[in-house]
């Protein structure tokens, strides 16, 4: 399958997590505006779910927004393969905690009593649990959408737009880029362990021993990489670099501002109305 389209540009690009369609709206979005939209929507959702009567409908709107863009960017398959189980477990635990520890309301739909402990599930507590799940799912998918449609270089570009000092931006870019490098080193160490008869156990004590066994080669790899990269940077005059001019294009399209406007509308709605009550659910 060809990795380039008819014009010769890539169909998919590598992002912080996995890859995404190069021409998708969120990938092409200005990174700084993308982070602002993400933050604004997150604040809106936190507001929604901390209300005494949480707004599940508005949470569902944000959730649909996130899922739509995940599908449009071609990243939903990674979500399903890698994160779905983790997110579903987290959502189930969240729902159960709110059912057990927030037994409010009088309209009982389920009552269980066992060895002196009782569980009363009402329509109110079930609704609150569902609203919390909607809100959490919306925020989680929004977070994954941003991570799956943003490249390392986009994150650095956003920091440069904020006029942060060169050394700070470079430090953070080193950290981001080192993440994948160290992940590869860790994988190499694991492969070496298996080649020497190591096994992958689920036993907590074995897992603890595994972590300990990884720590020495990982630390040595970390120091070795740092010494190599440090030497390479020195050879390029890094320590003498004082003021470095950062070059980058700022491309903001109408889509970017439309998404920003939408996020602000959602934020205002979260503070002023309750969509669930308005639509009469």
Partner 1 sequence: MAQKRKVSGKAILKYTLGWNPGGKITTTQYVLYAVQIAVVILLSWLGAVATPVVGPGIGFLYWAYPFFVVFTLWWGLWGILGAFLGSVIGAGLLTGLPIIPSLGFSIGDLVPALLIFLLYRSYLQRAGVDPLGKDILTSKKAAAWFAFWVMGVTNIIGGMWGVWVLVQLGFVPIHAYWIGAGLWILGDAIVLLLAPFLSKYLTPIVERYGLITKGWIS
Could you say which of 22, 67, 126, 233 contacts partner 1 (CB under 8 A)? 233
Stretch that binds partner 1, among 20-28, 93-101, 191-199, 271-279 (CB under 8 A): 93-101
CB of 1 to partner 1, least distance (A): 28
Count of chain residues binding partner 1 (CB under 8 A): 66
CA-based angle 182:183:188, to the nearest 5?
A: 90
Applying CB under 8 A, among 178, 255, 262, 264 the residue interacting with partner 1 is: 178
- Is 179 a binding residue for partner 1 by CB under 8 A? The answer is yes
Which residues sit opposite 122 in a β-bridge? Answer: 108
Which region among 1-9, 205-213, 249-257, 258-266 touches partner 1 (by CB under 8 A)? 205-213
Half-sphere exposure (Cβ direction) of 241: Cα atoms closer than 13 Å: 14
105: left (phi over 0), alpha (psi -120 to 50) or beta: left
267 binds partner 1 (CB under 8 A): no
> Quick one: 147 exposed, middle or buried, by C-beta within 10 A (0-12, 13-18, 19+)?
middle
Segment lying near partner 1 (by CB under 8 A), choices 19-27, 158-166, 167-175, 248-256:
167-175
Q: Is residue 276 part of the contact set for partner 1 (CB under 8 A)? A: no
CB of 120 to partner 1, least distance (A): 13
Binding mask 116-155 for partner 1 (x = CB under 8 A): ----------------x--xx--xxxxxx--x--------
**Interacting residues with partner 1 between 62 and 91 (CB under 8 A):** 83, 86-87, 89-90
Dihedral angle sign, alpha carbons of residues 222, 226, 227, 228: positive
Cβ pair 173, 238 in contact under 8 A: no
Three-state secondary structure call for residue 173: helix
**Closest approach of Cβ 113 to partner 1, in Å?**
18
Is the Cα torsion angle 39, 40, 46, 50 positive or negative in sign? positive
Q: What is the DSSP letter of 163?
A: T
**Kind and range of the H or E element at 21?**
strand 19-21
Answer yes or no whether residue 110 interacts with partner 1 by CB under 8 A.
no
Integer-rounded Cα radius of gyration of the chain = 24
Report in angstroms the alpha-carbon separations of 183 from 66, 175, 188. 28, 12, 9
User: Which spans of this chain sit near partner 1 (rule: CB under 8 A)?
Assistant: 17, 38-39, 42-43, 45-46, 49-50, 54, 83, 86-87, 89-90, 93-94, 97-98, 100-102, 132, 135-136, 139-144, 147, 167, 171-172, 174-176, 178-179, 181-183, 186, 204, 207-208, 211-212, 215-216, 218-220, 222-223, 225-227, 229-231, 233-234, 238-239
């Amino acid at each position: 399958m060809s990795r380039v389209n008819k014009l010769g540009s890539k169909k998919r690009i590598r992002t912080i997590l996995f890859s995404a369609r190069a021409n998708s709206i969120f990938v092409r979005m200005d990174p700084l505006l993308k982070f602002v939209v993400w933050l604004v929507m997150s604040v809106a959702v936190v507001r929604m779910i901390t209300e005494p009567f949480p707004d599940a409908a508005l949470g569902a709107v944000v959730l649909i927004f996130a899922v739509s863009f995940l599908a449009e960017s071609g990243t939903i398959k990674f979500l399903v393969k890698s994160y779905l189980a983790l997110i579903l477990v987290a959502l189930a635990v969240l729902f159960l905690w709110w059912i057990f520890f927030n037994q409010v309301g009088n309209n009982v739909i389920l009552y269980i009593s066992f060895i002196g402990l009782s569980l009363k599930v009402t329509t109110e507590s079930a609704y609150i649990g569902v609203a919390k799940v909607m809100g959490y799912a919306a925020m989680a998918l929004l977070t994954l959408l941003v991570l799956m449609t943003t490249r390392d270089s986009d994150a650095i570009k956003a920091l440069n737009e904020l006029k942060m000092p060169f050394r700070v931006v470079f430090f953070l870019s080193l950290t981001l880029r080192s993440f994948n490098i160290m992940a590869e080193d860790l994988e190499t160490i694991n492969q070496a362990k298996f080649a020497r008869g190591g096994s992958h156990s689920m036993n907590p004590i074995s897992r603890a021993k595994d972590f300990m066994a990884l720590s020495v080669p990982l630390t040595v790899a970390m120091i070795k990489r740092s010494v190599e990269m440090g030497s390479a940077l020195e050879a390029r005059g890094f320590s003498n670099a004082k003021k470095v001019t950062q070059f980058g294009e700022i491309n903001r399209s109408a889509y970017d501002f439309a998404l920003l406007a939408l996020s602000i509308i959602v934020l205002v709605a979260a503070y002023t109305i309750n969509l669930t009550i308005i639509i009469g659910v």
